[in-house]
């Protein structure tokens, strides 16, 4: 199949969030590649979703990337210490994105372990293995993603999503995590996980 094109992202955000499951986030670091299979996503739709940073089309320096063309990386910092990777969706000017919440290691898991924990994959404790890439901040650390990569074109060479032609795996749907402030949006079933 190959690298996802802008057309893939330029669709309904909920559809994109579901169809990203089972695909591979790839981060190029020189001649090496960091890679993980997407196993958890959350959708955010600014025009009507109080959990979205650009709810009701609110534009700030932080949210400007949400208004970029579909297929743009939106990376922000939470709690002053954790980065979160999102993929901008729908038409340019519509503030919508999919948060990547969890990955499974793929490719060179050794390199991911060194990025995340600073030690070899075989040296990880059972707890570290269980919690390797199961959160947006954890996966950004393993992929070496920070605000410096905010705005990257996901159809480029540094950061992209690879479709290996596998069908979307069976998945569950539920409420999104950590958005207690978001009024009725708290109950939107916009989290998808394998």
Residues 17, 114, 138: CA angle, nearest 5 degrees: 35
Model confidence band, residue 143 (pLDDT cutoffs 50, 70, 90): very high
Alpha-carbon distances, residue 130 vs 34, 35, 71, 145 (angstroms): 19, 17, 30, 21
Q: What percent of the chain has pLDDT over 90?
A: 90
Model confidence band, residue 29 (pLDDT cutoffs 50, 70, 90): confident
Residue 172 main-chain phi, psi, to 5 deg: -110, 160
Q: What is the mean pLDDT of residues 73-86?
A: 93
Q: Cα(54)–Cα(56) distance, rounded to whole angstroms?
A: 6
Among the listed residues 179, 175, 181, 180, the one whose alpha carbon sits nearest the alpha carbon of residue 193: 175
The CA R_g of the chain, rounded to the nearest whole Å, is: 16
Q: Are 9 and 74 in contact (CB under 8 A)?
A: no
Per-residue confidence (pLDDT) for residue 30, from 0 to 100: 86
φ/ψ bin of 185: left (φ > 0), alpha (ψ from -120 to 50), beta (otherwise): alpha
Residues 56, 57, 58: CA angle, nearest 5 degrees: 95
CB atoms within 10 A of CB 191: 20
Strand residue runs (E) in the chain: 2-3, 24-29, 32-45, 73-78, 82-88, 96-106, 159-163, 172-174, 191-193
SS3 66: helix
Model confidence band, residue 108 (pLDDT cutoffs 50, 70, 90): confident
Per-residue confidence (pLDDT) for residue 1, from 0 to 100: 77
Strands 159-163 and 32-45: unpaired
Per-residue confidence (pLDDT) for residue 118, from 0 to 100: 94
Taking the C-alpha atoms of 122, 23, 40 and 157 in order, what is their torsion angle to the nearest 10 degrees? 80
Among the listed residues 67, 97, 83, the one whose alpha carbon sits nearest the alpha carbon of residue 27: 83
| The pLDDT of residue 112 is above 90 | yes
Task: Establish how many alpha carbons lie within 13 A of residue 24's alpha carbon, considering only the half-sphere containing its beta carbon.
Answer: 19
Q: What percent of the chain has pLDDT over 70?
A: 100
């Amino acid at each position: 199949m190959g690298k996802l094109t802008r057309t893939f992202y330029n669709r309904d955000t909920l559809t994109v969030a579901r169809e990203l499951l089972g695909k591979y986030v790839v981060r190029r670091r020189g001649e090496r590649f960091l890679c993980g299979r997407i196993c958890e996503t959350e959708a955010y739709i600014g025009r009507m979703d109080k959990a979205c940073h650009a709810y009701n089309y609110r534009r700030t320096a932080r949210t400007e990337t949400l208004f970029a063309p579909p297929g743009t990386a939106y990376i922000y910092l939470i709690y002053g210490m954790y980065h979160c990777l999102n993929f901008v969706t729908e038409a340019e000017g519509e503030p919508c994105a999919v948060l990547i919440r969890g990955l499974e290691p793929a490719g060179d898991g050794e390199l991911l372990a060194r990025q995340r924990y600073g030690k070899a994959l075989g040296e990880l404790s059972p707890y570290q293995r269980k919690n390797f890439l199961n959160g947006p901040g954890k996966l950004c650390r393993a992929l070496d993603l920070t605000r410096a990569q905010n705005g990257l074109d996901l159809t480029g060479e540094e950061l992209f999503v690879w479709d290996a032609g596998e069908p979307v795996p069976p998945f569950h749907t539920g409420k999104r995590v950590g958005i207690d402030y978001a009024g009725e949006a708290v109950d939107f079933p916009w989290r998808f996980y394998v």
